Structure 1
Amino acid sequence: MAPYGILIWAVITAVLASILILASHVHNARRNRTTSVAFFHPYTNDGGGGERVLWCAVKAIQEESPDLDCIVYTGDHDASPDSLLARAVDRFGVELLHPPKVVHLYRRKWIEESTYPRFTMIGQSFGSVYLSWEALCKFTPLYYFDTSGYAFTYPLARIFGCRVICYTHYPTISLDMISRVREGSSMYNNNASIAQSNWLSQCKIVYYTFFSWMYGLVGSCADLAMVNSSWTQSHIEKLWGIPDRIKRVYPPCDTSGLQVLPLERSTEYPAIISVAQFRPEKAHPLQLEAFSVALRKLDADLPRPRLQFVGSCRNKSDEERLQSLKDKSIELKVDGNVEFYKNLLYRDLVKLLGGAVVGIHSMIDEHFGISVVEYMAAGAIPIAHNSAGPKMDIVLEEDGQQTGFLAQNAEEYADAIVKIISMPETERLEMAAAARRRAARFSEQRFYEDFKAAIRPILCHAAR
């Protein structure tokens, strides 16, 4: 046989063998599938709003369907049922009815940003398929629940016979991202070298367009897609094309626990708090720049504010970003007025929120903005980025009263800081009270009610 013939037969044999192995795994998995809900959440230690949603979703399932076992797929090897139960309480104040079962994943590196220096988005997406393969082979549930935004795993879960439910915080790609590349805007996901080159920008537009088509295809495999804001809902409906299967469920915000904090604050050294993971899209450097400008603009007779950064670090890259922020505060000569708190316990975060006069947020196109709601509930006046969730859902008037400020650049943020610090106490208290009333619309209780209403038809349909 000719060498080419041998090569062709080798390829055909390899493909057939792969198909047989896949079929065998899927057959065994379907046969051993249990009546359970498995949550695909590879990072159960990220400390962000996504993790709060995870624990509230687990609790809601436990309350709504006690007969369903709750399993968590996690890449954190030290996670155990008891440690996750304790973490839900310590970090988020969420008391689960009983510990979730744990399935450990050992291929999480395939979804890490550092694994893909180029084509990160598509690399992580395909890497998530490999990770979910490990998860589903180890344990196949009746319901596959993605709480981390890995839509490329949905077709695989369907092949394994699972009903697919997801809670989407943020579209992996949005129409706004494509528009910004067309406009030549430089951002954390579109570096300056690409933004300044027409040819590279055109290549990236083709890449983004192709990826958005694939994203729509895999997303349409969801039986139920919950989204966390008007902005996310608009994008997901356009991309996935399944509007009848999409439900808006605002994320759980600890408004009840924070609303008991007194609105009166010490103004001797007014605290400006920033609560966000140390990730590039959170735009912490902009906050430092705005704070530096605000200090220069404040009248000499006004008190000097403090900027408190509170956040969690998921990996080495986040640690490096935190150190870069510390270095930048020294460079801007504001380090004496800036404090950093890493991986803070929930009770300690509440103490800081209870003393803050201002809460600052600067992520462009923040899907929702749990931290903004927490500022408002705690009595801190928010200054949020003038886009997406904060603009469309959160920082809106309540009973005709202003609830906070929206800004886009360092000057606008600085002006808002100065305005709040200079504000008479009675005016500040009125605005803080209106913001607190607005925040009540996004309570944890509201999440439980809307979440259970969304999943009930899926659970009931499967029961029949």
Structure 2
Amino acid sequence: MHFMFSLFGLMVVLFHFFASICCNHFTLLLFLSNQVVHLCKRKWIEESTYPRFTMIGQSFGSIYLSWEALCKLTPLFYFDTSGYAFTYPLARIFGCQVICYTHYPTISMNMLARVSLQSSMYNNNALIARSRLLSQCKVIYYTVFSWMYGFVGSCANLAMVNSSWTQSHIEKLWKIPECTRRVYPPCDTSGLQVLPLEKPRESPKIISVAQFRPEKAHIIQLEAFSVAIRQLDSRLPRPKLQFVGGCRNKEDEKRLQHLKDKAVELNVEMDVEFYKNVTYKDLVKLLGGALAGIHSMIDEHFGISVVEYMAAGAIPIANNSAGPKMDIVLDEDGQQTGFLAGSVEEYAEAIVTLLKMSETQRLEMAAAARKRSSRFSEQRFYNDFKEAIRPILSQSSYSC
């Protein structure tokens, strides 16, 4: 598609912007290009191009796309924020300094462990999980791929990562801890911080903000909500669960409809509301009225929606893994900031506990959560980004 912007060419433009705010040596900007390169090989990184062996297909496809980009324009700095680590050796061959901001490792040790244990998940087909032979074959595939991923990733001059969880996996796989820096993503929560911490208690709202994708595990939230309602004292106000998210395609639409059907099956359809593709203004309004925010994705690399819950005064009930566990839902000044859960029963218990809390206890927790959310501000991102990238900008020959 000739009219589409290249992800790699766009990185050069973004780098021009970041350099302008990071670098004190303004003459360096003369070496940076602000051109946008149009590429024709975009289809080689599309998931739909590889129905099977998607990871390896997209990875090698990205090399082809990168070759086209680098032949058309070879920058001094090659800045990747899309996770195409297999392009780094090629960029080094072209003489570029390679910088990346990795949101999520293409493969992780957790993925390998789940395949070994034959656990069925969104990224491990049930047919493969049921077969020992197929699982062993997939383990070999993942093992070989993880070695290749480790090799190409080690070609980065600077690897910025968005969370402690991502950092631990990248350091194990790429083995360049001295070149790895944790830079939390910018969360613009200024508009949410001003929302009142007091929430209506007559009809408490629990909000869930996430695209209707399989890894977001909305069914667990619905089942936990159903269990919690059955466990609630009849004298307590009956809560409502609000699903807020976007649909990218027909598959997401089907998942949304399945969620609605499941609410009917669990006999909670009158207590559940669905909001599809809402505007940001409407999202802020919904967050402002929410007593709590629920999140159930396993191994969420960071969890910006959890930070948004906390900033809005909605106490988070998040999955007990990765970003929420390691970086976000931690005590603030000795005060609990939310709940972590891993099963339907644990989520239900957290919901019931929250609804039974006194207003004073809830306000103290909400205030601590809001204070913690400020640790992930845009300003902190700018400061950490500048600190990480300054050595490479000031010394073009920098390498680890």
d(CA) in 1 for partners of 2:283 and 2:71?
Answer: 39
8 Å Cα contact 2:9/2:36 also seen in 1: no
Tell me which of 298, 302, 316 is aligned to 1:368: 302
| Residue segments in structure 1 that go unaligned for 5+ positions in a row | 1-36, 42-53, 72-99
Local SS of the residue matching 1:308? strand
Q: How does 1:206-285 map to 2 (within 5 A)?
A: 206-285=140-219
2:267 maps to what in 1?
Answer: 333
Q: Which deviates more, 230-239 or 178-187?
A: 178-187
Q: Which residue is 2:4 aligned to? A: none
Q: 1:126 to 1:335 in 2, by over 3 A?
A: farther
Structure 1 residue runs of 4 or more that deviate by more than 6 Å after TM superposition: 68-71
> After the TM superposition, which residues 12-411 of structure 1 pair with which residues of structure 2 at under 5 Å, given as runs?
38-40=9-11, 60-65=18-23, 67=29, 102-411=36-345
| Worse-superposed segment, 194-203 or 225-234 | 194-203
CA contact (8 A) 1:40 1:144 kept: yes
Q: CA deviation at 1:417?
A: 1.1
Identity of aligned residues (%): 74
Does the CA contact (< 8 Å) of 2:10 and 2:37 recur in 1? Answer: no
Q: Quote the Cα distance in structure 1 between the aligned partners of 2:217 and 2:108.
A: 18
Mark the CA change 1:224 to 1:327 in structure 2 (over 3 Å): closer, same or farther.
same
Task: Tell me the alpha carbon deviations over residues 10-36 of structure 1, each in whole angstroms, 9 at most, x when there is no partner.
Answer: xxxxxxxxxxxxxxxxxxxxxxxxxxx
CA contact (8 A) 2:9 2:38 kept: no
- Structure 2: distance between partners of 1:132 and 1:274: 37
Distance between the aligned counterparts of 1:209 and 1:104, measured in 2? 35
Is this contact kept in 2: 1:38–1:143, CA < 8 A? no
Number of residue pairs the alignment of both structures matches = 387
> Could you state the TM-score of these two structures normalised by the residue count of structure 2?
0.88
> Helix, strand or coil for the counterpart of 2:242?
strand
User: Distance in 1 between the 2:357 and 2:219 partners?
Assistant: 26
Q: Offset at 1:69?
A: 9.5
2:370 to 406, 430, 436: 436
Q: Distance in 2 between matches of 1:388 and 1:460?
A: 34
| Deviations 1:229-274 (CA, angstroms, capped at 9, x unpaired) | 1111111011001111100111111233322211011122222111
Match for 2:286: what amino acid?
A: L
Residue in 1 that maps onto 2:3: none
1:33-59 per-residue CA deviation (whole Å, 9 max, x = no partner) reads xxxx94459xxxxxxxxxxxx98x886
Kept in 2: contact 1:266–1:355 (CA 8 A): yes
Amino acid at match of 2:201: T
Q: 2:381 corresponds to which letter in structure 1?
A: F
Alignment check: 8 A CA contact 2:81 2:100 kept: yes
- Gaps in structure 2 of 5+ consecutive residues: 1-7
Deviation at 1:401, TM superposition (A): 1.1
Change (3 A) 1:322 1:155: farther
* Alpha-carbon spacing, 1:164–1:316, altered in 2? closer, same or farther (3 Å): farther
Shift of the 321–142 alpha-carbon distance from structure 1 to 2, 3 Å rule, reads farther
Aligned partners of 1:430, 1:64: CA distance in 2, in Å?
38
Q: Which residue of 1 aligns with 2:5?
A: none
Q: CA deviation at 1:163?
A: 1.8
CA contact (8 A) 1:39 1:147 kept: no
Question: Is the Cα contact below 8 Å between 2:210 and 2:305 reproduced in 1?
Answer: yes
Matches of 2:63 and 2:362, distance apart in 1: 50
How far residue 192 of structure 1 moved from its aligned partner, in angstroms, is 2.3
User: Does structure 1 conserve the Cα–Cα contact (< 8 Å) formed by 2:118 and 2:130?
Assistant: yes
The change in CA–CA distance for 1:138 and 1:337 in structure 2 (over 3 A counts) is farther
Alignment partners' CA distance in 1, 2:204 and 2:35:
44
Query: RMSD of the TM alignment (CA)?
Result: 2.6
The DSSP-based 3-state class of the residue aligned with 1:427 is helix
